[in-house]
């Protein structure tokens, strides 16, 4: 049976059974709509999780074990030699040592702040990182400026988000962007702590200059050039040889497991707190998405049952017509193909309608979220991530469900005895 003819006949039959088939297509649309909606929501939420916890699948954070036989004997250190050995591990592309500022520091600022007068005093956590780690995120030179010059700092982009969504609105402060803040200077007092209420001998005041924002910078604290932190630690008599952690970047994500094993064989440990948190939240989102998708699949399956009933009724109604088709030369296969083609058309329309419903539902939820939910850090413009694959998958599943529903009616139609069909229909 030629496709154009098949379409013509299927179209004629569908137009006759428009009411019943609209109900069938509506059922499919509901199931597919739910499926696409939940899949897009799942992907959208995964994207939010990635924004909050920007974990690279290729990176590992190496630390000295807190309690370990090696550390007890003092022979496990993250010094330059250890970093060199880490670089030698097969699959490691780069190693970025991090050095914690080992002296207390505070910042106290009183003065104009983008049109407002502010007063603040904060305990500062500093981390030294190599400039290669943040790459182009620093818009000012990210190198040790030497004594007496403002220290360039890079801040994790998430802190800016938290400031804009939580801190600023509560205090009536302006919302800020990266470019507004780059170059902003504020004082830092090194060797002093508000929390411990102590001031070290040799404490001194200098200035910090914001050089940029980066996802690569540690979330807690201010990232400074590695040499600067080493210089300050040395000035206060602190250890300058041992790094606090080393970030390893693998050549390929599949190599991360082997690299982790090699790191542990070296007596070192991995800090996976943020990674495991991201993985746990991501897994929870995936689980909920899966559960909701299964619910949608159940709705689609019920729609397939409805299609089966509708097509059974249609075949009963069209018994004589099927007899006539057999009389003019249709084979059993032609009859079955015709019924399945009608089901496929129903599926295509149901699937397309379902995708449109999902899109409309997504827009509605986003609008409600924008107007009804309060601002919070990382609140996305949209909670959904619709992809062309969702459209294809939706239509494909809709067609498959429709074909599955129409399978037995098509078989029954093909099996009709043409003589009886002509006599009884």
Partner 1 sequence: MSTIELRALRKRYPPREPGGAPQDLWRGLDLTVEEGEFVAIEGQSGSGKSTLLHVVGGLDRDYEGEVLVLGERLRTLSDARLAALRHARIGFIFQSFNLLAELTALENVLLPDYFGDGVPDAGQRAREGLERVGLADKASSRPTALSGGERQRVAIARALLARPPLLLADEPTGNLDARTGEGIIGLFRELHREGMTLLVVTHEVRVSRAASRVLVLREGALFPDPRLEGSA
C-alpha distances (whole Å) from 395 to each of 38, 388, 400 are: 15, 11, 8
User: Cβ 425 to partner 1, closest distance in Å?
Assistant: 9
Question: Count residues contacting partner 1 (CB under 8 A)?
Answer: 29
Q: Tell me the C-alpha distance between 76 and 61, whole Å.
A: 16
321 binds partner 1 (CB under 8 A): yes
Q: Which is nearer to partner 1, 15 or 273 (CB)?
A: 15
First to last CA, the chain: 24
346 binds partner 1 (CB under 8 A): no
415 binds partner 1 (CB under 8 A): no
241 binds partner 1 (CB under 8 A): no
Q: Which is nearer to partner 1, 1 or 365 (CB)?
A: 1
DSSP E strand stretches across 135-197: 151-156, 185-193
216 binds partner 1 (CB under 8 A): no
Q: Are 182 and 176 in contact (CB under 8 A)?
A: no
User: Cβ 318 to partner 1, closest distance in Å?
Assistant: 9
Q: Which of 154, 150, 151, 149 is nearest to 133 (CA)?
A: 154
Select the residue interacting with partner 1 from 232, 270, 330, 353 (CB under 8 A).
Answer: 330
Q: Which is nearer to partner 1, 144 or 314 (CB)?
A: 314
22 binds partner 1 (CB under 8 A): no
Coil, strand, or helix at residue 360? helix
Select the residue interacting with partner 1 from 323, 350, 354, 361 (CB under 8 A).
Answer: 323
Q: What is the CB neighbour count within 10 angstroms for residue 351?
A: 31
332 binds partner 1 (CB under 8 A): yes
DSSP E strand stretches across 215-319: 222-225, 245-250, 269-270
Select the residue interacting with partner 1 from 8, 50, 87, 387 (CB under 8 A).
Answer: 8
Q: Are 160 and 256 in contact (CB under 8 A)?
A: no
Select the residue interacting with partner 1 from 129, 325, 395, 410 (CB under 8 A).
Answer: 325
Select the residue interacting with partner 1 from 121, 183, 257, 333 (CB under 8 A).
Answer: 333
Coil, strand, or helix at residue 422? helix
């Amino acid at each position: 049976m030629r496709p154009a003819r098949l379409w013509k006949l299927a179209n004629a039959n569908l137009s006759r059974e428009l009411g019943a088939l609209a109900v069938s297509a509506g059922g499919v649309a509901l199931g597919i709509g739910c499926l696409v909606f939940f899949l897009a929501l799942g992907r959208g939420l995964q994207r939010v999780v990635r924004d909050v916890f920007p974990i690279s699948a290729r990176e590992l954070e190496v630390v000295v074990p807190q309690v370990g036989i090696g550390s007890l004997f003092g022979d496990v250190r993250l010094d330059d030699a250890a970093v060199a050995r880490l670089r030698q591990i097969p699959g490691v592309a780069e190693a970025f040592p991090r050095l914690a500022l080992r002296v207390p520091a505070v910042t106290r600022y009183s003065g104009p702040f983008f049109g407002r007068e502010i007063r603040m005093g904060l305990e500062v956590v500093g981390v030294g990182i190599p400039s290669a780690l943040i790459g182009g995120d620093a818009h000012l030179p990210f190198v040790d400026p030497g004594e007496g010059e403002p220290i360039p700092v890079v801040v994790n982009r998430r802190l800016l988000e938290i400031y804009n969504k939580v801190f600023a609105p509560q205090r009536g402060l302006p919302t800020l962007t990266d470019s507004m803040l780059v170059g902003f200077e504020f004082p830092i007092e090194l060797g002093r702590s508000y929390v411990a209420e102590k001031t070290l001998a040799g404490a001194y005041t200098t200035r910090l200059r914001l050089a940029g924002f980066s996802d690569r910078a540690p979330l807690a604290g201010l990232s400074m050039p590695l040499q600067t932190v080493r210089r300050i630690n040395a000035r206060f008599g602190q250890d300058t040889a041992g790094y606090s952690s080393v970030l390893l970047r693998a050549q390929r994500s599949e190599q991360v497991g082997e690299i982790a094993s090699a790191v542990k064989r070296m007596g070192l440990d991995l800090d996976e707190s943020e990674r495991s948190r991201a993985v746990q939240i991501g897994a929870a989102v995936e689980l909920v998405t899966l559960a909701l998708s299964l619910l949608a699949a159940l709705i689609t399956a019920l729609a397939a049952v409805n299609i089966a009933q509708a097509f059974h009724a249609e075949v009963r109604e069209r018994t004589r017509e099927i007899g006539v088709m057999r009389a003019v030369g249709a084979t059993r296969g032609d009859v079955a193909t015709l019924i399945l083609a009608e089901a496929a058309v129903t599926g295509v329309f149901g699937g397309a309608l379902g995708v449109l419903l999902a899109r409309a539902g997504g827009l509605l939820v986003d609008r409600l979220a924008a107007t009804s939910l309060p601002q919070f850090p990382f609140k996305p413009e949209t909670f959904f991530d619709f992809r062309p694959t969702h459209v294809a998958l939706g239509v494909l599943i809709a067609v498959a469900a429709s074909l599955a529903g129409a399978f037995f009616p098509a078989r029954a139609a093909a099996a009709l005895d043409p003589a009886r069909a002509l006599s009884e229909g």
